[in-house]
A and B are shown apart, each in its own frame.
Chain A
Amino acid sequence: MKPSKSALGLLDLSFLSAEEEAAIRQVLLRDEDLKRLESGRVRKLRQSVPDLQQLKNLTGEWFEELRIKRYGQQTDVTAVVRTSMRWKKTAVHKPNPFLNDKLDENKEHDKDEHNTRPNASADPRLIHPALSKETYHQHTHKDFIGDVETPSAPSVSNKKEKLRAETDANPFLNGTDPGHKSTKTQPKELSGGQTTTVFPFSSPVQDTKPERSTTKNPEPRRKVSLPPALQRDQSFEENWVKISLEPNTVKPVHDENNSSGIKLKEVKPHIKNIQDTSSPETSHTESKNVLLKSGSPMKEFHFQPQTSLAFTSHGPELTTHSAHGDSKEVNKFSNAFQNSTSTDQQCLAELTFRESESDKAGPLDSANVRDKGSLASRDIVNDEASSDRKGGEGKNVSIGFLVETDMDQAVEHLTGEEEINKHFSAEEESQSPSLKWGIEMDSHEFPQVKDASSDFGDDVQVQIEKKNENELLYQTTGVKLCDKTVQSDLDSCEDKVKLRSYNNQTLSEISQDIFSMTDDGKLVHIREDKHMDKSVPEPIKPAHPSDDVAGFGQDSSEIKVDVDSAETKSDVLLNVLARAQKTRPPVLQNITNQEPNLEGTDDTVPSIVIVPSESPDPAEMKGNKRGALVLEALLQSSTAKNPSYIADAWEDEGVNSDDDDTSLSSYGSDLSSRKGFSASALSLTDRTGSLLSVYSDAGDFGTVEVQGSVEFAVMYSPVGELIIMIEQCQDLAIANPRKQRTDPYVKTYLYPDKSRRSKRKTTIKKRTVNPVFVESLRYKVNREELPEKSLNLSVWHNDSRGRNVFLGQVELSFRTWDWGHEALTWYNLQPKTSENAETKESNGLLSVSLKYVPSASTGGSKSSTGEIHVWLREAKELRRLKPQGVDSFVKCYILPDTRKKSRQKTRVVKKTQDPVYNHAMVYDGFKTGEVTEACCELTVWDHNTLANQFLGGVRLSLGTGQSYGKKVDWMDSVDEEVQIWKRMLASPNSWVEGELPLRSAMTPRKSTS
C-alpha cells in the first residue's frame, strides 16, 4: 500500500468552545501520559528483547509501520490537535494566525494547562506581528461598524482587542518622553481627529503627535501582538534582540515624570485625580492634563490623548477624553506598562483608544466614564514617544496594560464609536515587526481567565466561536456592570503591580538605556541615557514576575472573548501583567551584569611582542612578590585597563556566554560564587569550579546514555524569522545519578554558525525527565539563507556547577526541509555524532616555544629569579565557530597564580582558523624548584564583543596532579603537554618548541584536596 494520504494537516477547530477545548486538552494530556508510559516501556523492551519481530509486535511498531505505509511519517494526532487548537482561528483565516488564537488559547490554556503545564506559553506561531496587525485592522472596521448599535461592550472589547493588538513592539520599552506631557500633546492629537491610538510601543513611531492623532482609519491598525516568545523566559533575549535592533525603539528616554513602568499606585491617584476633577472634562485635553497632572503618580504614564486606562481602587477604569474638546469617547486601552515589564511586554498591549465619532451621548468625559466604572485606559507612551520620535530617537514604547472592567455605561459611551481608530503613528506602522507584540496571551497563562470565562454565558462563547478570528475578539454581547469581583481582582492585581512597580520601573528605566544587541543575541546595555537612574542596578531584573501583568494580559485576552465580564477583563489584564513580569528572562539579569563590563576587554589586549630575553624593570622586579609575573610592567597596560577585574574574568571565562558548561552564568546561579581571586600569587587559587568550567565550551561533563525524545515545531515566519517552538521532552535520561535528577533545558544552534551568536536556550526545568517548555527560540534569518543552514537542537542537564550534561540532540538540515510542516513533532534524541563530539584534535593545535631561565645564583643584591619564557607562535585548525573564521587570541596564566594581573594575552587575530600570534611573554620570580610546581595554562579564545568563547587550551606542566604539596586538578597535563615542559626544564636557557593539540575542555582549577 503506498502512501496515499497527505500529512494530517492542522484541523480547523474553530467550532470548539472554550470548555470543549479544555475538555479535549484534558483528554490529550491523559493520552500523553499513556504515551509516556508506553515509550518508557518500549525503550526497555528495545533493550531487552532480542527478537526483532517479537519486538515489533510488543512495541506496536508493527502498527506504525503499516500506518506509515499509508500516510508516511506523520505527526502524532494529539500533537496535531493541540497545534490545531492553537491555530484554531488561523486554520480558517490563514493570514491571521496569531491574534485570535492567542486569545482563545488563553482561555483554554488557562483552564487545563494551568495545572498541568506550568510554562505554557503563547505559541509563537500565533503571534505574528505583521499578520496580526492586519487582521486586527480588518476586524476593527468590521466590528465597529457593526457595533455601533450595540452597547458599548462590543466596541469596548474591540478596543481592547485593538489595544492589545496594538501593543506593538517594545512593550517593555518605555516610551517615556521626558519632555512630554500629555497635556501638550493632547491638543495636538486631539485636533487631529477622532481617534487616537495608544501605542505602547512607540519606538518606531516617529511621527509627531499630531500626526498620530490624525491618523485614522486609513492607517492600518497596528496590531499589537505580543510575541509569545516574550511571554516566555527564554525568548526574552530574542525579544530584546529585536527591540534593540530597532533603533527607535530603544528609547532611553527617561523622564522623571514619565517613568516607565506603570505603578498602580500612580494610576490610582491618577484616576482619582480625574475623578476629582470630575467634571465635565470632556475635553480630552483637559482630562489628559488632569491625568498627567496628578503629580508624580502619573509620571509613568504617557497618555495618548484620548483615554487612559488606569487602575483605581475600583479596578481599571477607562477614562475617556475627548479629542477635540467635545467628548469623543475614546476608549483606549492602553497598556501602560512600561515597566520593565517591557520585558514582559507581551502582556502589555497598548490599548487603543478610539474616540467615538458619533456623538453619542454628548461628551463623555472621563468622569462619566469613570462613574460607570468603565475602564480607564491609559495611553502610555505615546506622546512622549512621539515627541521623541520627532527627535528622531527611538522611543521606548511604554507599555500599557489593558485593563478592563466591565464596561457598562462606559462602554455604551463607546458604542458610538465606529471603530477604534488605531491611531498609530506612522512610525508605529513602521515598527519593525519584532517590536510588535500582540497581546495574544497564551492561554496557558491565564488561569483566571478561564475561570472567569466560565462564568460567561454560552451566548458569548458562541458568538465568539462563530466569528472568524478577527471578529472573535471583538464580539461582545453586553456589558455588565462592574462588579465587585472585578474590583477585587483588580485590587489584588494592583497590589501586585504595585509591588512590582518599583521593579518594573527599575527595569523600565534600565530599558530606557540604549541597548545594543550583542553577537550572542543578548541585549546589552551599552550606555546610559541621561535620564537613567544610575542607581538602578545594572542587571536588569528580568524576573519581576508581576502576576499582575499577566493578569492584565489575560484579562485582555479574555475580554476579547467575553466582554461582559469585567472580571475577565481585569483578570486578563492582570494576568498579562503578571506574565509579563514573570517571563522576564533570567538571562537579562546576567546580561546586564556582565555586559557593561565586557566592553573593551579585549581592547586592552596587548599587541606588543616582548623580546624574550629582556629583563623587566628592576624596580618592578623588586616589587614583585614571589612568583610575580615580570612582564606585568610591560604589559600592564592591558590589564590595567580593565577596571572590572571580575567582569573581565567573567567575560573571558565565558561567564556570560551561555556555554553549556557555564550555563550557570547565564542563569545567574553562580555569579555570587565568582569571587575575586586570591591575592597571594602562589596560593592555591580558589577559583570556583564554575568559573573554570568555562573553559570547556560546548563541553560535556557527563556520560549519559541518550534516551527520550523531544517535541518541537519549526516554522519560518514571513518577517524573516526562524522560529523553533520547543514543546516538551519525554523520557530523558537521569543526568545526575547520585542525586537522581535531571534539570533539563534545550539549546539550539543554527549551524554552520557554532558561535554564541547562534546559540539559543530555553529555560531550565527543574527535576523532571519530561519537561514541558512551550518556549520558542528565534533566529533572524533570511529565507534564502535557510537552505544552507541546519538546526542543531540539543537537550542538556543544567548542573549547578556548570558542568552540564548532554542528554541528546536532534539535527535537521534545512536543505530538504518541508516548510509546510509546522506542526509539533516528536524526534528521538540522538547521541552526539563523532562529527560534533568534541575531540581534542578537532580543536586545533597550538604552536608554542618555551624557555626556562633558571634563577641565577648570584651573590649580588639583586638576585634574579628563574624565568619562564613563553613564545606563542601560532595556532592551527581552530574550531570554526564562525563561518568567516574566528577572531582568536591566547591567554596565558602561570598557575597557581591566577591573578588577573599575572595574566597575559596576545592580540586578537581576526578571521582565521590559523592565526599567527608571535607573542612572547616572560614570567619571572621562580625560585629554584618552583617551576616544577607551576603550570602554564594557555587558552585560546574567540573574541566577541561581549563575551569570548573558548576555543581550546593546553596546560603545560609536569602533570603531577599536585602543586606545592596540594592536590590540584590543573596539574593535569598529559602527553605532549608534559613532554614540552620536561624538555623545557631539561634544556634551560634554550628554546624548546612544540605543537600541542588543544583541549576542548579544561577542568576547573580547583584544588581537589
Chain B
Amino acid sequence: MSDGDYDYLIKFLALGDSGVGKTSFLYQYTDSKFNSKFITTVGIDFREKRVVYKSSGPDGTAGRGQRIHIQLWDTAGQERFRSLTTAFFRDAMGFLLLFDLTNEQSFLNVRNWMSQLQTHAYCENPDIVLCGNKSDLEEQRAVKAENARELAEKYGVPYFETSAANGENVSRAVEVLLDLIMKRMERCVDKSWIPDGTVRSNGHSTADLTEPHDPEQSKCAC
C-alpha cells in the first residue's frame, strides 16, 4: 500500500466524543479487528485502506472500479486536544461523526460536533455520516434509534447504527460516505451540474439513507 498505485486519495475524518469508539471503528474498518482496551488517542492519528469503488450512478462510470486510497483521520475526542483536532477538519473530504449509543451525552454532543464541522471543515456543508456506535451493547443502550434518526434527518446526513466490536455497518458507513464524496467530486468538477435537490438523489444508493437530503447539505461548494 505504500505505492502510488491508486486513482484517488480520499481523506476522511472520524470525530466525536471521547470514548465513543472512533479508533475502534476505524481499526475495525481497516483491519477488521477489535480491541476492547481503551487507549485514548493522542491528539490525532490516521489509518489507511485501499478499496475499489464502483460508482453506482447512472453516469458513464458505473461499473468501472476506481482504486481509492482512503486516509482515515482519527481524532482525539478529549477536549484538551480540541484545538489540534479541529485544525485537521479542513483537510478532510468527508466525516464520520460517531456517538455512543450507550452514552446519551455523546449523542447530545452531536449537535456541537456538527457545528464544529460547519465551522472548520472545507466547506459549510461537508459530507457527513452519523454513526451510533456500540450497537452490540444493546442492553446498555441509552439512545433511541428513532431519536438518532431524527437528528440525522435534521442535518440531512445518513445514519447508521454501527458496532466496531462486531463490525456491523462499519464498512457500510464508510462506503456510503465514500460514495457521497465521489458523487460530490464528480459534480463539482463538472461545472454544469444541476441544482442541488435533483443531483443529490442520484448519489445515494443505500437503503439506510433515511431521508432525502436536505438541499442545503447537498449543495456543492463550487
Q: Is A990 an interface residue (CB 8 A)?
A: no
Q: Which of A57-65, A96-104, A616-624, A782-790 contacts B (4 or more CB under 8 A)?
A: A57-65
Q: Is B3 an interface residue (CB 8 A)?
A: yes
Q: A771 CB to closest chain B CB, in angstroms?
A: 20
Which residues of chain B in 178-195 are interfacial with respect to chain A, using CB atoms and an 8 Å cutoff? Answer: 185-186, 188-190
Residue of A12, A19, A27 with most chain B CB atoms under a 10 A cut-off: A27
Determine whether the beta carbon of A11 is less than 8 Å from that of B84.
yes
Determine whether the beta carbon of A27 is less than 8 Å from that of B44.
yes
Determine whether the beta carbon of A62 is less than 8 Å from that of B189.
yes
Interface of A is mostly: helix
Q: A residues within 8 A CB of B7?
A: 58
Q: B residues within 8 A CB of A70?
A: 90, 122-124, 221
Determine whether the beta carbon of A40 is less than 8 Å from that of B4.
yes
* CB-contact partner of B87 in A30, A41, A54, A77, under 8 A: A77
Q: Is A646 an interface residue (CB 8 A)?
A: no
Q: Is B34 an interface residue (CB 8 A)?
A: no
The CA of A958 and the CA of B190, in the complex, are separated in Å by: 63
- Of chain B, the residue at the smallest CB distance from A55 is B189
Q: A208 CB to closest chain B CB, in angstroms?
A: 50
* CB-contact partner of B222 in A12, A38, A69, under 8 A: A69
Determine whether the beta carbon of A63 is less than 8 Å from that of B122.
yes
- Of chain B, the residue at the smallest CB distance from A25 is B43
Q: A residues within 8 A CB of B43?
A: 16, 20, 23-24, 27
Determine whether the beta carbon of A1 is less than 8 Å from that of B221.
yes
Determine whether the beta carbon of B90 is less than 8 Å from that of A8.
yes
Q: B63 CB to closest chain A CB, in angstroms?
A: 17
Q: Is A138 an interface residue (CB 8 A)?
A: no
Q: B residues within 8 A CB of A641?
A: none
Q: Is B88 an interface residue (CB 8 A)?
A: yes
Q: Is A975 an interface residue (CB 8 A)?
A: no
Q: B residues within 8 A CB of A1?
A: 123-124, 221
Q: A37-B2, A37-B3, A57-B186 are in contact. Are A13 and B84 (CB under 8 A)?
A: yes
Complex interface bits, B42-77 against A, C-beta within 8 A gives 1, otherwise 0:
111110100000000000000000000001000000
Q: Is A74 an interface residue (CB 8 A)?
A: yes
The CA of A71 and the CA of B93, in the complex, are separated in Å by: 14
Q: Is B8 an interface residue (CB 8 A)?
A: yes
Q: A56-B189, A77-B88 are in contact. Are A65 and B222 (CB under 8 A)?
A: yes
Q: Is A534 an interface residue (CB 8 A)?
A: no
The CA of A57 and the CA of B3, in the complex, are separated in Å by: 19
- Of chain A, the residue at the smallest CB distance from B48 is A34
The CA of A77 and the CA of B85, in the complex, are separated in Å by: 10
Q: A590 CB to closest chain B CB, in angstroms?
A: 40
The CA of A323 and the CA of B35, in the complex, are separated in Å by: 63
Q: A15-B80, A57-B8, A66-B122 are in contact. Are A24 and B44 (CB under 8 A)?
A: yes
The interface on chain A, measured as residues whose beta carbon lies within 8 A of the other chain's beta carbons, has a size of 39
Q: A49 CB to closest chain B CB, in angstroms?
A: 10
Determine whether the beta carbon of A63 is less than 8 Å from that of B185.
yes
Q: B residues within 8 A CB of A15?
A: 80
The CA of A74 and the CA of B48, in the complex, are separated in Å by: 24
Q: A58-B8, A60-B9 are in contact. Are A77 and B188 (CB under 8 A)?
A: no
- Of chain B, the residue at the smallest CB distance from A33 is B2
Chain B residues touching A, range:
20 to 34
Q: B residues within 8 A CB of A40?
A: 4
- Of chain A, the residue at the smallest CB distance from B6 is A41
Determine whether the beta carbon of A66 is less than 8 Å from that of B91.
no
Determine whether the beta carbon of A74 is less than 8 Å from that of B90.
yes
Q: A residues within 8 A CB of B185?
A: 57, 62-63
Q: A424 CB to closest chain B CB, in angstroms?
A: 37
Q: Is A683 an interface residue (CB 8 A)?
A: no
Q: A residues within 8 A CB of B123?
A: 1, 66-67, 69-70
Q: A residues within 8 A CB of B147?
A: none
Q: Is B36 an interface residue (CB 8 A)?
A: no
The CA of A34 and the CA of B71, in the complex, are separated in Å by: 9
- Of chain A, the residue at the smallest CB distance from B2 is A37
Q: B residues within 8 A CB of A41?
A: 4, 6, 9
Q: Is A928 an interface residue (CB 8 A)?
A: no
Which residues of chain A in 1-49 are interfacial with respect to chain B, using CB atoms and an 8 Å cutoff? Answer: 1, 8, 11-13, 15-16, 19-20, 23-24, 27, 30-31, 33-34, 37-38, 40-41, 44
The CA of A322 and the CA of B150, in the complex, are separated in Å by: 76
Complex interface bits, B1-20 against A, C-beta within 8 A gives 1, otherwise 0:
01110111100000000000
Q: Is A81 an interface residue (CB 8 A)?
A: yes
The CA of A74 and the CA of B121, in the complex, are separated in Å by: 13
Q: A462 CB to closest chain B CB, in angstroms?
A: 12
Determine whether the beta carbon of B222 is less than 8 Å from that of A11.
no
- Of chain B, the residue at the smallest CB distance from A63 is B93
Which residues of chain A in 575-618 are interfacial with respect to chain B, using CB atoms and an 8 Å cutoff? Answer: none
The CA of A34 and the CA of B49, in the complex, are separated in Å by: 12
Q: Is A53 an interface residue (CB 8 A)?
A: yes
The CA of A54 and the CA of B220, in the complex, are separated in Å by: 17
Determine whether the beta carbon of B222 is less than 8 Å from that of A31.
no
Residue of B4, B71, B185, B190 with most chain A CB atoms under a 10 A cut-off: B4
Determine whether the beta carbon of B83 is less than 8 Å from that of A11.
yes
Which residues of chain A in 57-115 are interfacial with respect to chain B, using CB atoms and an 8 Å cutoff? Answer: 57-58, 60, 62-63, 65-67, 69-71, 74, 77, 80-81
Q: B residues within 8 A CB of A27?
A: 43-46
Q: A residues within 8 A CB of B6?
A: 41
Q: A540 CB to closest chain B CB, in angstroms?
A: 44
- Of chain B, the residue at the smallest CB distance from A74 is B90
Q: A23-B43, A80-B87 are in contact. Are A62 and B188 (CB under 8 A)?
A: yes
Q: B219 CB to closest chain A CB, in angstroms?
A: 9
The CA of A80 and the CA of B90, in the complex, are separated in Å by: 12
Determine whether the beta carbon of A57 is less than 8 Å from that of B189.
yes
Q: B194 CB to closest chain A CB, in angstroms?
A: 16
Q: A1-B123, A27-B45 are in contact. Are A66 and B90 (CB under 8 A)?
A: no
The CA of A66 and the CA of B191, in the complex, are separated in Å by: 13
* CB-contact partner of A11 in B2, B87, B93, B189, under 8 A: B87
The CA of A60 and the CA of B185, in the complex, are separated in Å by: 9
Q: A residues within 8 A CB of B122?
A: 63, 66-67, 70-71
The CA of A577 and the CA of B186, in the complex, are separated in Å by: 57
Q: A residues within 8 A CB of B45?
A: 27
Q: A444 CB to closest chain B CB, in angstroms?
A: 19
* CB-contact partner of B42 in A12, A24, A58, A62, under 8 A: A24
Q: A925 CB to closest chain B CB, in angstroms?
A: 64
Q: B residues within 8 A CB of A62?
A: 185, 188-189, 222
Which residues of chain B in 84-115 are interfacial with respect to chain A, using CB atoms and an 8 Å cutoff? Answer: 84, 87-88, 90-91, 93
Q: B residues within 8 A CB of A60?
A: 8-9
Which residues of chain A in 431-484 are interfacial with respect to chain B, using CB atoms and an 8 Å cutoff? Answer: none
Q: A residues within 8 A CB of B71?
A: 31, 34
The CA of A1 and the CA of B216, in the complex, are separated in Å by: 13
Q: A residues within 8 A CB of B124?
A: 1, 70
Q: A24 CB to closest chain B CB, in angstroms?
A: 4
Q: B residues within 8 A CB of A16?
A: 43, 84
* CB-contact partner of B46 in A31, A63, A66, under 8 A: A31
Determine whether the beta carbon of B84 is less than 8 Å from that of A24.
yes
* CB-contact partner of A38 in B9, B84, B188, under 8 A: B9
* CB-contact partner of A53 in B8, B83, B93, B189, under 8 A: B189
Determine whether the beta carbon of A44 is less than 8 Å from that of B8.
no
Q: B residues within 8 A CB of A11?
A: 83-84, 87
8 A-B pairs within 8 Å (CB atoms) are namely A16-B43, A38-B9, A41-B9, A58-B8, A66-B122, A67-B123, A69-B222, A77-B90
Which 5 A/B pairs are nearest by Cβ-Cβ distance?
A: A41-B4, A67-B122, A66-B221, A23-B42, A53-B189
Residues of A within 8 A of B (CB): 1, 8, 11-13, 15-16, 19-20, 23-24, 27, 30-31, 33-34, 37-38, 40-41, 44, 53-54, 56-58, 60, 62-63, 65-67, 69-71, 74, 77, 80-81
Question: A54-B189, A66-B188 provided; 17 other pairs, C-beta below 8 A?
Answer: A8-B90, A11-B84, A13-B84, A20-B42, A24-B43, A31-B46, A34-B48, A37-B3, A37-B4, A57-B8, A57-B186, A63-B122, A65-B188, A66-B220, A67-B123, A71-B90, A77-B87
